[in-house]
Amino acid sequence: MTSTFTADAARAIPGPDWLVERRLAAAERLSDVQWPTTAEEIWRYSRVDALHLDRYRPVAPEALGPPGVESAPGGGPFAAEVGEHAGLVVVRNGRVVHHELDPALAAKGVTVCGLATCTEAEVRDALGTCSDASPDAFTVLHDAFLAGGACIRVPDGVVVDRPVVVLHWADGEGLASFPHTLLVVGENAEVTLVERSASPDFPAGSPGHLVDSVVELLVGDNAHVRYVTVQEHGPRTWQVALQRAHLGRDASLRSSAVALGGHYARLRSESLLAGSGAESDLIAVYFGDHEQMLDFRTLQDHDAPHTHSDLLFKGAVEDEARSVYSGLVHLRPAAVKAEAYQTNRNLVLTEGAGAESIPNLEIEANDVKCSHASTVGPIDDDQLYYLETRGIPPEEAERLIVLGFFDDVFARLPVPALVEPLRRSVIEKIEHRSAG
Amino acid sequence: MAVSDIDLGKYKLGWHDSTDNYIYTPKKGLNADVVRDISGHKDEPAWMTKFRLNALKRFEAKPMLEWFAKNMPDIDFDDIYYYLKPTEGQVSEWDQLPDEMQATYEKLGIPEAERKFLAGVTAQYDSETVYHRNRDDLEKTGVIFTDMDTAVREYPEIVQQYFATVIPPGDNKFAALNSAAWSGGSFIYVPPGVHCEMPLQAYFRINSNNAGQFERTLIIADEGSSVHYVEGCSAPVYSTDSLHSAVVELIAKPGARIRYTTIQNWSPNVYNLVTKRARAETEATVEWIDGNLGSKLTMKYPAVVMTGPKAHGEVLSVAYAGPGQHQDAGAKMTHAAPETTSIIDSKSISKDGGRTTYRGLVKVEEGAYGCKSHVRCDALILDEESRSDTYPYMEIDEKDARIGHEATVSKVGDDQLFYLMSRGLTEQQATAMIVNGFIEPITKTLPMEYAVELSRLIELNMEGAVG
């Protein structure tokens, strides 16, 4: 497909034999993969035509920094914001450089480690389950250059009462990294996973950094997972990410995404409700400014009776920024008595910004409840007027309204401790405009 | 509302007349010779022949879009008659038609409707308009209502000014096909300030097997005028497929109002692939009212391009998909000027393995400030075999635009059924009543006769329905 992402380059990355073999198998598939274009419906509106893979190269093995929390700048304070946590993994350019876990949980059989240190037997049944069920050119590329990543396993019946934190840091101009997070949660188990992805700014005209990531959440029968991902990439970073969950019988997922950074940041957020009674709640807050494009593709895939899913994505764009929300609710014939809801709301704050919203439904079962709604519009004049008549200056009033707009999503964030810091990040985004 | 439970589960308009006395039938398939033949038969000016041949090249060059190909894997363009001329010339009295043809139109109820409430009627039979008549008082107002072929001959200036300006031949593969092979359709010109009080109607009947019908309609409502145009259609049931691919262009000049109503009831062997688009200029209003009940596959997305400030576009549609049917319908609204508004209201019902799809686009261009659009799609799925899809696109390039979309998918509510059945209705009557209530927001916009007809068709299709 390209001159730099070759089978030889895939082989050169260190790792256990099973991982090298897995990479080479993917590298072989890669030669048959058609590079996507915006002519394809799933890439419509995206910036994939402007993404030139030739400008990137895989991370060289020697390019790793020393291990430690500090190798993910901002990660230290972020981990502190999460509050008391059960475990921590630091991933730099797709490779785990540090991991720790409360020994009491380790004693219960919980593991938090790097993928590359696992044996084949430990991950064989889990790794790739989600990405193989929803492949595209980027998941194949990911598999061909997968160096490692965070692996978290919670055995049957174990409740992890504090969050596990994974910090991703991507640096290195012109590099492509392939972070992977694999979460396997056994029957009747519970865990909260918080991830943050960040990268620095790069000089103007630089290709920046390409992050091609995969997050797999395997939620066993009657297991409960809360998941938060915060994306604060630098303004020249490209991100193409898949986050996909498979839910068993009576399992639940409460997933939330906060997307603030990146030049082009695409997130596919998917839930497969495979077991009867499974529940999925997907929420997101996104805020784009300058030349950013935030691109979300969601899937609520119901393949079992009595399943329930809800989705609420709210975003704002200003300057020349654009956002894309394209979501599908798929109720398969097995999804008898399923309920699925999907809502996307967009605020367009300035002239020149734009939002695309495509909430799709495919319904193949009849005894279901399903609805969706989406809106795109400016700040409501009446609300602005109301606040201004109370003596609140226009900029302040606008700030309040935007924060109020996001409030119902923040209220549903599974880690309440993160609400305040994330609100502050949104405020910073709003204020850059009045400042600049 | 009277609830009937007449046993008419099957398509009732599926008879066909003899084709032995057709004046002209070329070979199946489409090529430059066939196109020249069609043009020659119509004695057309050279510009139209040239237009057709250019369009043919476009048709041949354009690939089938992926989702078109997916929807109709079996279509065979070479197994279609592209021009079928049933009679020589056009008549203005029903009894001048061949007996069998006249009987067909009587059975369809067209002459009766004409006597009661229409200002003018054209009737197309396969490729040609066989009957046309206007009420005497219509002509006095200066309104021109005729078939498209006559318009090319008699009103060349107006036709050349507007023809293919809203839907150019290269717009899509089927617009190109129509531009190459078109025959029949309506032409209407309403002079400034004239209000057509009674609807104008066209009825399209396919009679032959493997028939292609490619009518072309152009309606121009000049400044401050208004017109309501109604079209109906039906075809015999054959085991082979027929193709109907129309192009309809509407132009509403400043302050004008056009309402375009379609009751589509093709037989279940017709591919119905239609391009319909309107241009609404300053403060003009265009409404598409679209009832899709028949056909094997319908792909039709009536569009309004609002080019002048304060223009308004509306699409109200009802789709019903029964066994083997796929209604892939929707709407397209382009807000290209400030303070334009649009409404899309779509109701669909799928039953016995039928599939309904809403596919739509609301686009707000940069600079089109103060626009509003609201899209609502409701789908009823009546059994486990049926399916419903919703693909609403919203592309908003303007800050000051308020755009909303909402959709629901449900079955007939058990509590609603229980309520009605406890009052002594059968389950079938109750279901028919609920479904009629579901589509009422659309039927109430129709002239009374059509509302009754649409309700009746829905009731017939509900035969045997169980919630």
Per-residue pLDDT tens digits for B47-60: 999 999 999 999 99
pLDDT of residue B450: 76
The helix or strand, by DSSP H or E, that contains position B393, with its residue range, turns out to be strand B387-396
**Are the beta carbons of A288 and A294 closer than 8 angstroms?**
yes
ipTM: 0.84
On whether any CB of chain A is under 8 Å from the CB of B394, the answer is yes
Q: Specify which residues B274 forms β-bridges with.
A: B300
The CB density around residue B372, as the number of other CB atoms within 10 Å, is 17
Interface test with B, best of A376, A380, A398 (most B CBs within 10 A): A376
If contacts are CB pairs under 8 Å, which of residues 30-59 in chain A contact chain B?
41, 45
Asked if A402 reaches chain B (Cβ–Cβ under 8 Å), the answer is no
The two three-digit tokens of residue B7, written as one number: 């046993």
Chain B residues within 8 A of A371 when measuring between CB atoms: 406-409
Closest CA to B379 of A308, A307, A366: A366
Q: Which of A120, A145, A125 is nearest to A17 (CA)?
A: A120
Among A355, A361, A369, select the one facing B407 at the smallest CB separation. Answer: A361
Q: pLDDT tens digits for B237-276?
A: 888 999 999 999 999 999 999 999 999 999 999 999 999 9
* Distance between CA atoms of residues B160 and A253, nearest Å: 62
Task: Tell me: pLDDT of B466 over 50.
Answer: no
**Is residue A343 predicted with pLDDT exceeding 70?**
yes
Query: Which chain A residues contact residue B389 at CB under 8 A?
Result: 360-363
Instruction: Round to whole Å and give the CA distance between B84 and A217.
Output: 61
Tell me the two tokens of residue A3: 């001159």
Q: To 10 degrees, the CA torsion angle through A408, A412, A413, A419?
A: 40
Reported as a pLDDT band with limits 50, 70 and 90, residue B457 is confident
Is residue B272 within 8 Å of B244, Cβ to Cβ? yes
Residue type at A63 in one-letter notation: A
pLDDT single digits (tens) A270-323 = 999 999 999 999 999 999 999 999 999 999 999 999 999 999 999 999 999 999
HSE-CB for A176 with a 13 A CA cutoff: 24
Tokens, residue A222 = 């009657």
- List the Cα angle A164/A168/A169 in 5-degree steps: 150
> Can you tell me which residue has the tokens 């302040």?
A396
Å between A367 CA and nearest CA of chain B: 6
pLDDT tens digits along A59-94: 876 665 554 445 566 567 788 888 889 999 999 999
Residue-level pLDDT at A2: 61
DSSP lists the bridge partners of residue B401 as: B371
pLDDT at A71: 59
Residue-averaged pLDDT of chain A: 92
Amino acid at the residue A129: T
Instruction: Note the pLDDT of residue B445.
Output: 79
Beta-carbon separation of A375 and B387 below 8 A: no
**Which of A253, A311, A245, A308 is closest to A277 using CA atoms?**
A308
Cα(A242)–Cα(A138) distance, integer angstroms: 9
Mean pLDDT across chain B, nearest whole number? 91
Give yes or no for a contact between A197 and A168, defined as CB atoms under 8 angstroms apart.
yes
Q: pLDDT (tens digit, 9 = 90+) per residue, B23-48?
A: 888 889 999 999 999 999 999 999 99
Dist CA A363 CA A239 (whole Å): 31
Say which residues have a Cβ less than 8 Å from residue B219's Cβ, sequence separation at least 6: B186, B187, B188, B189, B190, B227, B229, B248, B249, B250, B251, B258, B260
What's the count of helices (H) and strands (E) in chain B, helices before strands? 12, 22
Look up residue A209 and give its amino acid: H
Q: What is the 3-state secondary structure (H, E, C) of chain A?
A: CCCCCCHHHHHHCCCCHHHHHHHHHHHHHHCCCCCCCCCCHHHCCCCHHHCCHHHCEECCHHHCCCCCHHHCCCHHHHHHHHCCCCEEEEEECCEEEEEEECHHHHHCCCEEEEHHHCCHHHHCCCCCHHHHHCCCHHHHHHHHCCCCCEEEEECCCCECCCCEEEEEECCCCCEEECCEEEEEECCCCEEEEEEEEECCCCCCCCCCEEEEEEEEEEECCCCEEEEEEEEECCCCEEEEEEEEEEECCCCEEEEEEEECCCCEEEEEEEEEECCCCCEEEEEEEEEECCCCEEEEEEEEEECCCCCEEEEEEEEEECCCCEEEEEEEEEECCCCCCCEEEEEEEEEECCCCCEEEEEEEEEECCCCCEEEEEEEEECCCHHHHHHHHHCCCCHHHHHHHHHHHHHHHHHCCCCCHHHHHHHHHHHHHHHHHHHHC
Pairwise CA distance, residues A369 & A381, whole Å: 34
Q: What does the pLDDT look like over B374-396, one tens digit per residue? A: 999 999 999 889 999 999 999 99
Distance between CA atoms of residues B351 and B331, nearest Å = 22
Contact call for B408 and A354, based on CB within 8 A:
no
Query: Does residue A417 belong to the interface with chain B, where contact is any CB pair within 8 Å?
Result: no
C-alpha distances in Å from residue B144, one per residue of B44, B160, B199, B418 = 20, 15, 13, 53
Q: What is the mean pLDDT of residues B76-82?
A: 92
Q: How far is A60 from chain B (nearest CA, A)?
A: 41
Q: Does B69 touch chain A (CB under 8 A)?
A: no
Is pLDDT above 80 for B9?
no
Q: Is the Cβ pair A376, B381 closer than 8 Å?
A: no
Q: Kind of pairing, strands A369-377 and A339-348?
A: parallel
What SS3 string covers B71-119?
A: HCCCCCHHHCECCCECCCCCECCHHHCCHHHHHHHHHHCHHHHHHHHCC
In the numeric block, the tokens 């009894």 are attached to B95
Give B446 or A51, the one with higher predicted confidence. A51
| Nearest residue in B to A370, CA atom | B409
Share of chain B above pLDDT 70, in %: 97
Interchain contact, A358 vs B399, CB within 8 Å: no
d(CA B466, CA B412) in angstroms, rounded, equals 9
